[in-house]
A and B are shown apart, each in its own frame.
Chain A
Amino acid sequence: MEAYIPMLLTIITAATPLLFAAIGEMVTEKSGVLNLGVEGMMVMGAIIGFLTVHVTGSATFAILAAIMAGMVMAALFGVLILYFHASQVPTGLALTIFGVGLSALVGQSMIGVAYQGIPDVSIPFLSDIPLLGDLLFNHDIMVYLSVLMVGLVHLFLTRTRAGLILRAVGDSHDAAHAMGYSVIRIRFLATLFGGAMAGLGGAYLSLAYSPLWVEQMTAGRGWIALALVVFASWRPWRVLFGAYLFGGISILQLHAQAYGIAVPAQVMSMLPYLATIVVLVIISRDLSKIRINAPASLGRSFHPSK
C-alpha cells in the first residue's frame, strides 16, 4: 500500500485544477448559463497567478489575482451574453480564443522562469496517521479548498434559499422572472463564480501542479471540466468523483513509463481526451437522464421585455 501513496498523491494534484473549474462551471450552468470559455478563463488564471507570484512573491496574492483574472474574463462573457444578448456558444468560444491569445502575450517574459511551488500544509495530528495521514492531510492549501468548495456548493444548492433561487432561474427563467427575481443579476453572479473557480484551477496548474509557465498549459483541461459537469449530471459530489477519476487517467500517462510499459508518450497523452469522449458517450446515451438533470433553460438567452 505504502508504495502507491506517491501515485495517489499525484492523482489528487492532477484532479484539483479540474475540480475547481468543473465545480465553478456547474454552478454557472445551474443558473442556465453555458460558458464554453472555461479554458480561456483557466489559462488567464494560470498566467496571472504565475505573474503575480513573481512580482509580489506571495502565493496568497497570486491566488487572489488568479481569482480576479477568472472573474474579469467571466464578467466580459456575462456582459456580452446577459446585457448584449449575444449567443452563449460563440461567445464562450470567443472567450477561449481571446484568453489563450492574451495569456500567451502577457506570459511572454515568463517562459522558462521557475517557481518553487506552493508549500504543503500538514494538518496537525491527522497527518500523523499512518498511510491515511500522508494521503489525506498533507497537501497544499488549495487541495483542501477545492474539496471544501464542493461541500459548500452542495450545501448552497440544496440547503439555502439563494441556492433554490439559482436553480429556479436555471430551470425556468420566465417563472423566476415572474416571481420577481432578477434573472440577469443572478446569472451574472453565477457566471462570476464560475470564472473565479476557473481562475483558481488555472492558478493551481501554474503554481502547484507544474510550477512554471508554458503557453497553453491548460491543454484542454477547461474542456474536460465542461465534460465533467455533464458526466456528473450537475451534482457536486459526482463532480468530485469525476475529477479524481480524470486525475487518475491523466496520471496513468506519467506512471506508465516508470512501470516499463512501452507505449509512446503521445498515445498516453491522448488518454484523458479519449476518456472524456468515452465518458461523454456513456453518459449522454440515456437522453431521458440528461433531460431530467440538466437545467432546463441551459444556454437560452433571456430578455425581460420579450
Chain B
Amino acid sequence: MLPSLVKRQQISKSMVYLSPVLAFVLSLLAGVILFIIMGVSPLAALHSYFVEPLSSSYNLAELAVKATPLVLIGVALSLGFKAGVWNIGAEGQLTMGGLCGGVVALYFYDQQGFYILPLMLAAGMAGGMAWAGIVAFLRVRFNANEILTSLMLSYVAGLFLNLMVHGPLKDPDGFNFPESRLFGDSAMLPILIEGTRLHVGALMALIAVGLGWVIISRTLLGYQIKVAGSAPAASAHAGFSGARIIWITLLIGGAMAGLAGVIEVSGPIGQLLPSISPGYGFTAIIVAYVGRLHPVGALFAGILLALTYLGGEMAQIQLNLPVAVTGVFQGLLLFFLLACDVLIHYRVQFGKPALAREKR
C-alpha cells in the first residue's frame, strides 16, 4: 500500500520547528550525493562547508559579516510574506540602497566627519524605501502584481548601478575601471573586533531582529499583518486596510534591504562596484522561509545561509569547487523545507487509505 496523507485536526507545532532541521539534514544528504557525482570527496567538501567557516575567530567574524544583510532583509521579508505581500525584489532595493549611500560617501570623499556615516545610512534606507515604494504604489493604485514589478525593478536597479559606476561615479584616477573611488574613513562602518571585518552592521541586524519581534508579537500592526495573511476576508471585515499593510510591509522591506546595501558598500566592500551583492536579496527569501517567517527564526536562518556563502568560498579555495554549488544548495534547502512542511498540516498514513476517505 502506498502511504497517503491525512489532514491533521490541528497543525503539528513540533513539525513547525522540526521541519527546517529535517530539511537541512536532507539537503546535506543531497549535497553529499552531489559531491560524489562531481568527483569530490564528500568529507573534504563538508569540512570546507561546515567546519572551516567555524574554525577560527576570523572566519566566525566573516560569517557574521555575511549573515548581516541576510538577517536584516530576512526579518523584513518575513513581515511582508506573513501578510501575503510578495516582495521578491529585495535585491534591487539593496542595490538602490547601496547606490544612494555610496553617492553620499563619494560626495564627502575628501572630508572627515561623524555626520557622514549616519547620512549614508539614511540615504541608503531612503533609496531602498523609494524603490520598494514604487512597487507598493503600483500594487495599491493599479493592482499590478508585486512579484513581477519588484523583480523587474531589480533588473533595472542592477543596470542603473552598472550605468553609474561606468559613468558619473567612476573613479577619475581609476584607470577607467568601472568602479568608484574608495570611500573615506568617515564613510566606513566602525569595526567591532580588531583584525576582523566584523562591523557595527551586525549589531544593527540584531536590533532589527528585536524590533521585528516586537512588531509582530506586541503591536496592533503585527496582529493586522498576521490576519491579513491568514484570513484576508476577516481582515477586510475587521476594517484593516489592505493598502496600508501593503505600503508598510513593502516600505519596511525596502528600508531594510537598502540598509543592507549601504552596510555592504560601507563595510566589507568600501566602494561602489558594478555588482554589490552575490544575491543576498534573493537568498533572504529562503532565510525568511527557513526562519518560519519569524524574526528570531530569521536570525538563525540568516546565519545558516551565510554559512553556505562562506562555505562555498572555502570550498572554492580549497577544493576548486565552483561557487555555483552555493546556489544549488540554497535551492535544495528551500525545496526540502517546503516538502517537509507538508507534515505540519498532514500526517503520513501507511496502508488503509480508506480511513482517510471516511473522514471527509
B335 and A266 within 8 A (CB): no
A interface, over-half SS: helix
Q: Which residue of B lies closest to A97 (CB)?
A: B331
Q: Name the B residues within 8 Å of A100 (CB-CB).
A: 327, 331
A276 and B338 within 8 A (CB): no
A76 and B335 within 8 A (CB): yes
Q: Please, what's the 1-or-0 string for A227-255, where 1 marks a CB less than 8 Å from any CB in chain B?
A: 10010000000000000000000000000
B156 within 8 A of A: yes
B322 and A108 within 8 A (CB): yes
Q: Name the B residues within 8 Å of A273 (CB-CB).
A: 152-153, 155-156
A281 and B144 within 8 A (CB): yes
Q: Which residue of A lies closest to B326 (CB)?
A: A101
- Once bound together, how far apart are the Cα atoms of A36 and B156, in whole Å? 20
Given A101-B327, A102-B328, A305-B7, A94–B138 Cβ distance below 8 Å?
no
Please tell me which one of the listed residues A102, A215, A266, A284 contacts residue B162 in the complex, with CB atoms under 8 A apart: A266
> Interface size (A, Cβ < 8 Å)?
48
- Once bound together, how far apart are the Cα atoms of A33 and B96, in whole Å? 33
Interface size class of B (residues with CB under 8 A): 35 or more
Given A97-B327, A105-B324, A91–B166 Cβ distance below 8 Å?
no
A86 and B7 within 8 A (CB): no
- Once bound together, how far apart are the Cα atoms of A230 and B149, in whole Å? 13
Q: Name the A residues within 8 Å of B142 (CB-CB).
A: 281, 284-285
Please tell me which one of the listed residues B286, B331, B338 contacts residue A87 in the complex, with CB atoms under 8 A apart: B338
A287 within 8 A of B: yes
Please tell me which one of the listed residues B155, B324, B325, B339 contacts residue A220 in the complex, with CB atoms under 8 A apart: B155
A93 and B144 within 8 A (CB): no
Please tell me which one of the listed residues A80, A264, A306 contacts residue B338 in the complex, with CB atoms under 8 A apart: A80
B145 and A230 within 8 A (CB): yes
Q: Which residue of A lies closest to B159 (CB)?
A: A266
B326 and A270 within 8 A (CB): no
Q: Output the least CB separation between B231 and chain A (Å).
A: 15
- Once bound together, how far apart are the Cα atoms of A220 and B142, in whole Å? 22
B151 within 8 A of A: yes
B331 and A90 within 8 A (CB): no
Q: Please, what's the 1-or-0 string for B333-360, where 1 marks a CB less than 8 Å from any CB in chain A?
A: 0110011011001100000000011011
A145 within 8 A of B: no
Given A104-B322, A264-B163, A276-B152, A97–B338 Cβ distance below 8 Å?
no
Q: Name the A residues within 8 Å of B282 (CB-CB).
A: 97
B309 within 8 A of A: no
Please tell me which one of the listed residues B152, B330, B341 contacts residue A86 in the complex, with CB atoms under 8 A apart: B341
Q: Name the B residues within 8 Å of A98 (CB-CB).
A: 327-328, 331-332, 334-335
- Once bound together, how far apart are the Cα atoms of A99 and B330, in whole Å? 11
Identify which of residues 34-68 in chain B touch chain A, using a CB-to-CB cut-off of 8 Å: none
B14 within 8 A of A: no
Q: Which residue of B lies closest to A36 (CB)?
A: B147
B138 and A85 within 8 A (CB): no
B88 within 8 A of A: yes
B148 within 8 A of A: yes
- Once bound together, how far apart are the Cα atoms of A99 and B332, in whole Å? 10
Given A273-B156, A285-B143, A290-B143, A102–B331 Cβ distance below 8 Å?
yes
B153 and A101 within 8 A (CB): no
Q: Please, what's the 1-or-0 string for A3-16, where 1 marks a CB less than 8 Å from any CB in chain B?
A: 00000000000000
Binding site for A on B (CB under 8 A): 5-7, 86, 88, 138, 142-145, 147-149, 151-153, 155-156, 159-160, 162-163, 166-167, 282-283, 285-286, 289, 322, 324-332, 334-335, 338-339, 341-342, 345-346, 356-357, 359-360
Kindly list the 10 A-B residue pairs having the minimum CB-CB distance in the complex, ordered from nearest: A101-B327, A98-B331, A104-B324, A266-B163, A86-B338, A105-B324, A94-B334, A101-B328, A273-B152, A84-B342
15 interchain pairs (CB within 8 A)? Answer: A76-B335, A91-B338, A93-B88, A94-B334, A97-B331, A99-B331, A101-B324, A101-B329, A102-B328, A104-B322, A266-B162, A273-B156, A285-B144, A305-B7, A305-B357
Given A36-B147, A305-B7, 10 other A-B contacts at CB below 8 A? A85-B342, A98-B328, A105-B328, A266-B162, A266-B166, A267-B159, A277-B144, A284-B143, A290-B143, A306-B7
